[in-house]
């Protein structure tokens, strides 16, 4: 079955760009009917949706993060990426990638999450 | 943006109890409501999609109902592995939004 695994630096300095990768195994990121999304969870808080991308490259971002976020797909490597620029301590969180199903827009496959701390 | 409000934010229950979690949307979302279970250190799990459809491999003790703005997740007989945090999420329109979560603890 499809599995997702996030990877990237666990520590990022303030004002720098956070870059994460989500590797998709057991299936193709180009499969129709799905979208690929990033979600984060601040320490002790709830889930916050960051944005999603269709395999075609069309994206939609959270309005609160739109000016700083880029989500992309690399079909040759079967992975998706997240870049979040100008980070602050408020971006410290567990970051999840997930596969979503077009139609009901629920996320049926999730990675285990990766913790990113923003600190100098 | 559509705001999702969950209640209660936490509850204590015993194994075998029936529990219900409520999720309210700030506007009608038809039946585009999904439920997730989160446990520390584990990948979140989709339990219910489109209000009442049980995701594969999810036990039948989980059920969902509702439409429009008011939705519920029910666990008919709480099991030890069900102690976790539950979130609702609307898929009606972007930005996708989640409820604040309900932590289910052992009484």
- At A45-97, the pLDDT tens digits run 999 999 999 988 899 999 999 999 999 999 999 999 999 999 999 999 999 99
Hey, of B3, B34, B73, B95, which one would you mutate to test binding to chain A, going by the most A CBs within 10 A of its CB? B95
**What is the predicted pLDDT for the residue at B80?**
94
**Using the beta-carbon criterion (under 8 Å), do A46 and B95 form an inter-chain contact?**
no
- pLDDT higher than 90, residue B107: no
Percentage of chain B exceeding pLDDT 90: 96
B42 contacts in chain A (CB < 8 Å): 112
Confidence of residue B88 (pLDDT cuts 50, 70, 90): very high
User: Vertex A76, ends B56 and A99: CA angle to 5°?
Assistant: 25
**Secondary structure letter of residue B96 according to DSSP:** P
**What is the predicted pLDDT for the residue at A104?**
86
**Using the beta-carbon criterion (under 8 Å), do A46 and B100 form an inter-chain contact?**
yes
**What is the predicted pLDDT for the residue at A32?**
86
Burial group, residue B87, by CB count within 10 angstroms (0-12, 13-18, 19+): buried
**What is the predicted pLDDT for the residue at B83?**
93
| Phi and psi at residue B15, to the nearest 5° | -55, 130
Q: What does the alpha-carbon distance between residue B57 and residue B5 come to, in Å, rounded to a whole number?
A: 27
A47 touches chain B (CB under 8 A): yes
| CB within 8 Å of B102: residues ≥ 6 apart | B6, B7, B8, B9, B10, B11, B21, B85, B86, B87
**Using the beta-carbon criterion (under 8 Å), do A46 and B99 form an inter-chain contact?**
yes
**What is the predicted pLDDT for the residue at A56?**
84
**What is the predicted pLDDT for the residue at B93?**
95
CA proximity to A37, closest of A8, A6, A16: A6
**What is the predicted pLDDT for the residue at A57?**
87
Q: What does the alpha-carbon distance between residue A18 and residue A120 come to, in Å, rounded to a whole number?
A: 13
Contact present, B3 and B97 (Cβ < 8 Å): yes
Confidence of residue A103 (pLDDT cuts 50, 70, 90): confident
Size of interface A-B (CB pairs under 8 A): 64
């Amino acid at each position: 079955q499809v599995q997702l695994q996030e990877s990237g630096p666990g520590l990022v300095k303030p004002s720098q760009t956070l870059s994460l990768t989500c590797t998709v195994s057991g299936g193709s990121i180009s499969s129709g009917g799905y979208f690929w999304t990033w979600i984060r969870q601040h320490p002790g808080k709830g889930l916050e949706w960051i944005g999603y991308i269709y395999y075609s490259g069309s994206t939609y971002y959270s309005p609160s993060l739109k000016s700083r976020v880029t989500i992309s797909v690399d079909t040759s490597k079967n992975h998706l990426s997240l870049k979040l620029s100008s980070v602050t301590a408020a971006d410290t969180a567990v970051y999840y990638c997930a596969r979503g199903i077009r139609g009901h827009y629920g996320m049926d496959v999730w990675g285990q999450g990766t913790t990113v701390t923003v600190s100098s | 943006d559509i705001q999702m409000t969950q209640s209660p934010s936490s509850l204590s229950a015993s194994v075998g109890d029936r529990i219900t979690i409520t999720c309210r949307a700030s506007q009608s979302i038809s039946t585009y409501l999904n439920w997730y279970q989160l446990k520390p250190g584990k990948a979140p799990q989709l339990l219910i999609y489109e209000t009442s459809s049980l995701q594969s491999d999810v036990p039948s003790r989980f059920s969902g109902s509702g439409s429009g703005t008011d939705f519920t997740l029910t666990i008919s007989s709480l099991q030890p592995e069900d102690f976790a945090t539950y979130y609702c999420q609307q898929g009606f329109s972007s930005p996708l939004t989640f409820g604040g979560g309900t932590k289910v603890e052992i009484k």
